[in-house]
Amino acid sequence: MSVEIYYKGNLLVSCHLKDISLCGAGLLTGPLTFLRNSEVKLKFIDFNSTRDSNIINGIVVRNSTHETGIMFTPTKPYMVSSILKHTADTSPQLSVGTQN
């Protein structure tokens, strides 16, 4: 699944989802890194939903080689659950966690 990362309203990069849980996501961002605690918005562009319901707020919690970890900030619980279900149904190769 592809994800777009927005910072202060600007699209920074389109990348791929490595894994996702109710708490956050691991993104394959290539060489691009972010400052820890930066607030970002993630747009799940392969998610079939209404116009803006596939956007989740998050905070950068980890950077490693070619990967960025995002912790979701308070959002509508049904939205994260819907994205998790869609991801599990359409991308079985991804690691999808549903427990905290």
Question: Is residue 99 pLDDT above 50, yes or no?
Answer: no
Can you give the residue ranges of every domain in the chain? 2-95
What is the identity of the amino acid at 89? D
pLDDT higher at 84 or 46: 84
What is the arithmetic mean of pLDDT over 41-61? 78
Closest CA to 48 of 89, 9, 96: 89
| Residue burial 48-64, b: 16+ Cβ < 10 Å; e: rest | eeeeeebbbebbbeeee
- pLDDT, one tens digit per residue, over 68-97 is 999 998 766 667 777 777 677 766 665 555
User: What CATH code is assigned to 2-95?
Assistant: 2.40.10.220
Alpha-carbon dihedral of residues 83, 31, 7, 19, nearest 10 degrees?
Answer: 10
- % of the chain beyond a pLDDT of 90: 44
Which is more confidently placed, 79 or 50? 79
